[in-house]
Structure 1
Amino acid sequence: MSGTQSAAGPTTGSGPDGAAHSRAAVSGSGAGRVSAALLAVAVALNAAGAMIVEIVAGRLLAPYFGMSLYTWTTVIGVVLAGLTCGHWIGGRLAGRYRAHLAPVIGLSFWLGALTTVLVLPVTGLVAGALLRGEAAPALAIALSGLAGFFIPSLVAGLVQPMATVFELQRAAAHSGPVVGRMLAAGAFGSILGTFIAGFVLISWLGSAGTIWLVAGLNAVLGALFLPGLSRRGGALAAAGLLVPLAVISGGVTVPGFATPCQVESRYYCIRIDPADGQTGRASRLMALDHLVHSVNDEADPQALFSPYLHLVDEIARHRFADEPISAFFIGGGGFTLPRAWQARNPASDLTIAEIDPVVTRLAREKLWFAPGENTHVLERDARVALRAIPEAPRFDVVFGDAFHDIAIPAHLISDEFNALVARRLKDTGFYVLNVVDDPSNPRLLASLLRTLKLRFPLLEVWVEPRDIQGARRATFIVYAAKQPSGLEATHRATYGYRHLWLRVDPASIDIDGLGITLTDDFAPVDRLLSGLWLGGD
């Protein structure tokens, strides 16, 4: 017999004695109950669960950090690192416990169930603590992702090498097909998990419900692999699935195992909360992921609590008085400004591109948004919606309000997108958008101005004084048009909340030294905002 001897025990030989040894080893491992089909299905479902957790990871981090390149880079890197370590450890375990692989696989699934469900409290505790400690966002994302998702991914990585060795021991003569089948099962499961998480589970069960479902699946698979439980395996499997199903179907919130979301859509973690304490009036706010996007006043739609919305309305009032306005909104959120303009003049023609129908539904149900006959909501990406509108001067105002703090969709700030906007604005119209940047080193702002300058002859930059007084970050409002806004360089609100804004001379911003031209091919938003993400000086 040709074979090798290691500290882990004898390996499978290639001759008849080796084959006999393999069969003997497998016979004591519970293989009689574990068919080749079950092994392949278990590998596929294990891989599906790992990918589902990966997709959910981004959603669990979003309420704390938003969605960004840094978020997804962390999630993908941590999950791959965990799977890599798990595959290596799983191979070592397969060599050490080759005569008892069925129970080891079963215990790995049960450990997977435990570590998966612990994702919920661990992520919340670590992310919350890092935010309270004011850690740099990129560092906080990396540490939160590592704490929450490395161990579950490692445990998921244990299964495939052990299952492959398990099947090879009883089918050594067919090693090629066995290895191919296991690799294909894992790849198929990964694909299945990716699509079912993104298109079905999160929308229907939410992030927490999806995590509970994966944990229950692991518990069921574990029960099927443990020898000596054949009579009780079905009951244990049912029990393993019963708890998560009860949590999901009953809407039960387990203390410490919930997410900050009230509602989860395909796009956002959404909260609707009272805002009376901030505004002093009966009002509510909408938070999308980690950012308060809108604050709506119940009694007075024209009471604008958010300073950047108030300034846009001040410009529109100054330019168009109470005349009907034709406007296109890039993003709806709580529909605060469309609601205000509709209330001031119902004849205004308002088009809002809000990609998330759940956001629109909640604005109607909870934030007193009741679109009139001249207010149209398009449930699609703003760029797609704007491109579908004929290229003719139509709008008095185009307002970019789809930016979430320092997470900015690059395709909505490129020169190509600006060209779409410019061709649909009237000569008297204006394009306005808000952007967050570091006032001491405004590289993204400079890039926006440099890019907008290619399409618009006149630019203005506005900011609240309190935002730039020793602050590391400020919200700038950028105005682009053929005509000036007409406001004084220091403008105090003419109505409502007593906001104050300063006009920054664009010439004082080194757009050539700090900025780059943003295109569809190259718009490195995260790099331009790296000072805010990384917390550097």
Structure 2
Amino acid sequence: MISQSAPGPERMGGKTAGALVFGTSGAVLVVELVSLRLLAPYLGLTLETSTLVIGIALAAIAAGAWVGGRAADGDDPRRLLAPLLAVSGVVVSLMPFVVRGAGELTGPGVFLVGALAIFVPGSLLSAVSPIVAKLRLTDLSETGSVVGGLSGTGTLGAIAGTVLTGFVFVTAFPVSVVLVGLGVLLVLASLVLGLWGRGLRRAGLPVALLVPGALGAVWGPGSCDAETVYHCAQVVPDEDRATGRLLVLDGVRHSYVDLADPTHLEFDYVAALASVTATQFPPTEPLTAYHLGGGGLTLPRHLAQVRPGTRSVVSEIDRGVLEIDVESLELQTGPDLEVRVEDGRLGVRSMAASSQDLVVGDAFGGVTIPWHLTTREAVSDVRRVLAPGGVYAANLIDFGPMDFVRAELATLRAEFDHVVLAAETETIAKEPGSGGNLVAVASDSPVDSAAFVDAMVERGLGWEAIEGAELDTWIGDAMVLTDDHAPVDQLLTLSPPQAEAP
């Protein structure tokens, strides 16, 4: 016969129990989401990276729940709570220094360090819930309500951690501040619980260990000039060109701007895009241009200089990048240059039909184009925006077999009558180790590919262009990307050679 009452340790109050479960569950989600931003400069913000981080966090939650449940059946689970929070707080506060240091030393090898940095605090914090349940459960007749209530409270905490991180913490504070601040809160909570659990004698150790985490976050490796909502951003002066500035986002060279000479085009792909405009439209004629992605706004500045009166509209999703453009890259907006902080897909949808001579595709997260800008539906919207004779020119990145670029070219070909691909000769030939930036040109009017190549040669590019049957052979049986199926991250081949991604 089973007794309806179960003796155990001192019962924990309902409000204290709820606060602990709510806070620790939320902390796990804060760590998970912020980890993506720590790892992005070294692994990229790809679907695979996000999937692995989520998987590690879920594994940590499962392991913590299992181990915490076993530990809760010990003699006095009260003494476990303070150490769990203290160790978690110290590890979380050290994350910016440790992960960025590993990233600078090992590159992609940072994932192993990052995995541990997520798993250790995630599992320790997840062990709190079953321990709290044991401390609350003194009568077996209340099992359902106690366990169910704590489970619901933990879920609400996880939701709060997710929402606050995405909408408040990352927007208002640098990643280092978020993690060190969370670590401090966890250690303080451990001190309070130490008083209740009579285990405060060693409290000085976790407090002392917060110091290296805080110092490392401020002066450690991999620091940013600015942490925007989406990127770790740096502006690097060019040692060989006094007025040259390089915009680096998450470790990738995104834009180069000459503060004194907007006509200077450092990156080959930008020179190729400029060659498109030079050959597809009458010289010096002002254009209406729409740009998907801003970065340093090198091409809009160039067009304003060589084609006075050109009106450019830019959709840039990251307000922080725009602030860097203004503060560090001397961007001046006005009637002829409008920058909208918005997602590119929504931006192109808002443009009037047949309103633009030129649309430039230049939006990247790391070296990956956001998948929803690559699909036939997105390309159809671009085609709708173009005026008769208008041109869509897109910067693409791929390596190896070029599976992604071939699919994107197949998608463009499904919507436009004329498509041209330009890149270095070895990239077109898909030679081993080749790849990087390619430029696709699409229009319903014929593209003067010979003049396009000549313009690139004049700019010092050793690029070639293919079209027609040759391009058809190059594309092969590649899939057409759609909103229903666009596995961009899986098609893309990443390789060590440096690509320039705005």
TM-score (norm 1): 0.84
Q: Check whether the contact 2:247–2:255 (CA below 8 A) recurs between aligned residues.
A: yes
Summarize the Cα distance change of 1:338–1:306 in structure 2 as closer, same or farther, 3 Å threshold: same
Could you list the per-position Cα deviations for residues 36-94 of structure 1 after superposition, in whole angstroms to 9, with x for gaps in the alignment?
21111011100010000001011111111221101100110011111111111111111
In 1, distance between residues paired with 2:246 and 2:22? 43
Structure 2 residue aligned with 1:130: 106
Matched, 1:463 2:420: no
The residue number in structure 1 matching 2:9 is 26
Separation in structure 1 between the aligned mates of residue 142 and residue 403 of structure 2, nearest angstrom: 60
Q: What secondary structure sits across from 1:353 in the alignment?
A: strand
- 1:347 alignment partner AA: G
Q: Which residue of 1 aligns with 2:322?
A: 360
Q: 1:230 to 1:100 in 2, by over 3 A?
A: closer
Aligned equivalent of 1:194: 162
**2: CA distance between counterparts of 1:241 and 1:398?**
55
Aligned equivalents of 1:499 and 1:531: distance in 2? 23
Tell me the residue number matched to 1:296: 257
Aligned-partner Cα distance in 1 for 2:158–2:86: 20
Give the 3-state SS of the residue equivalent to 1:377 in structure 2. strand
Query: For residues 446 and 127 of structure 1, what CA distance do their matches in structure 2 show?
Result: 32
Q: Does 1:210 align with 2:186?
A: no
Per-residue CA deviations over 1:134-180 (Å, capped at 9, x if unaligned) read: x6xxxx57535423312121112211111111111x34442221111
**C-alpha distance in structure 1 between counterparts of 2:174 and 2:359, whole Å:** 34
Contact 1:126 1:147 in 2 (8 A): no
TM-aligned CA deviation for residue 531 of structure 1: 6.8
Partner Cα distance (2:414, 2:110) in 1: 36
CA contact (8 A) 1:109 1:219 kept: yes
| 1:371 and 2:333 correspond | yes
| 1:355 to 1:254, Cα distance in 2 relative to 1, 3 A | closer
Render the CA deviation track for 1:419-446: whole Å, top value 9, x for unaligned.
11112212222101011122x5121111
Structure 2 distance, partners of 1:328, 1:356, is 17
- Return the alpha-carbon distance in structure 2 between the equivalents of residues 513 and 396 of structure 1: 30
Q: Residues 201 and 383 from structure 1, CA distance in 2 versus in 1: closer, same or farther, beyond 3 angstroms? A: same
Instruction: Report if the CA contact (8 A) 1:447-1:511 is conserved.
Output: no
* Alignment match, 2:294: 332
Matched residue SS, 1:463? strand
Matched residue, 2:500: none
Distance 2:21 2:366 in 1: 40
> Which residue of the partner structure matches residue 442 of structure 1?
402
Residues 105-157 of structure 1: CA deviation (Å, up to 9, x unaligned): 111111111221232233223333432xxx6xxxx575354233121211122
> Which is worse superposed, 219-228 or 174-183?
219-228
Correspondence list, 1:232-271, <5 A: 253-256=217-220, 259-271=222-234
Instruction: Return the offset for 1:487.
Output: 3.5
Equivalent of residue 104 in structure 1, options 77, 80, 86: 80
1:273 to 216, 236, 257: 236
User: 1:454 pairs with 383, 390, 414, which one?
Assistant: 414
Which digits, 9 at most, give the CA deviation of each residue in 1:1-52, with x for residues without a partner? x56xxxxxxxxxx25xx54xx1xx414xxx5xx4221111011100010000
Q: 1:518 deviation in Å?
A: 0.7
Give, in whole Å, the separation in 2 of the partners of 1:429 and 1:367.
30
For residue 375 of structure 2, what is the aligned residue in structure 1?
414
* 8 A contact 1:437–1:475 mirrored in 2: yes
Q: Is the 8 A contact 1:331 1:354 kept in 2?
A: yes
Q: Are the equivalent residues in 1 in contact too, given 2:289–2:359 (CA < 8 A)?
A: yes
Question: How far, CA to CA, are the matches of 1:337 and 1:489 in structure 2?
Answer: 17
Letter in 1 for 2:136: E
SS of residue paired to 1:105: helix
Cα 1:180/1:305, change in 2 over 3 Å: same
CA contact (8 A) 1:445 1:515 kept: no
Cα distance between partner residues in 1 of 2:59 and 2:28: 12
2-structure distance, mates of 1:512, 1:305 = 29
Structure 1 position 399 matched with structure 2 position 360: yes
Query: In the alignment, residue 72 of structure 2 is paired with which amino acid?
Result: A
Question: How many Å separate the matches in 1 of 2:319 and 2:294?
Answer: 10
Q: What is the number of equivalent residue pairs in this alignment? A: 489
Structure 2 residues without counterparts, runs of 5 or longer: 497-502
> AA paired with 1:296?
V
Tell me which of 17, 27, 42 is aligned to 2:20: 42
Please name the residue that 1:321 is paired with: 283
Of residues 425, 439, 448, the one that matches 1:477 is 439
CA–CA distance in 2 between the matches of 1:240 and 1:179?
A: 32
Q: Are the aligned partners of 1:282 and 1:297 in contact in 2 as well (CA < 8 Å)? A: yes
Partners of 1:74 and 1:145 within 8 A in 2: no
Contact 2:284 2:308 in 1 (8 A): no
Q: Which residue of 2 aligns with 1:7?
A: none
CA-to-partner distance for each residue in 1:220-247, whole Å, 9 max, x for gaps? 22112224777989xx79x969968x95
Q: Which runs of 5+ in 1 are unaligned?
A: 4-13
1:400-422: CA deviation from partner (whole Å, max 9, x where unpaired): 00024542211111111111111
Is the contact made by 1:66 and 1:290 (CA closer than 8 Å) also made in structure 2?
no
Task: Output one character per residue of 1:308-347: Cα deviation in whole Å (capped at 9) or x when no partner.
Answer: 1111112212233111011000011111111111122331
Q: Which has the larger radius of gyration?
A: 1
Q: Following the alignment from structure 1 to structure 2, what is the Cα–Cα distance between the partners of residues 252 and 532? A: 30
Partner of 2:123: 154
Name the Cα RMSD after superposition.
2.8
Q: 2:35 aligns with which of 25, 32, 57?
A: 57
**Structure 2: how far apart are the matches of 1:276 and 1:44?**
51
CA distance in 2, matches of 1:435, 1:512: 14
Identity across the alignment (%) = 26
Q: 1:129 to 1:437 in 2, by over 3 A?
A: same
Q: Distance in 1 between matches of 2:284 and 2:95?
A: 53
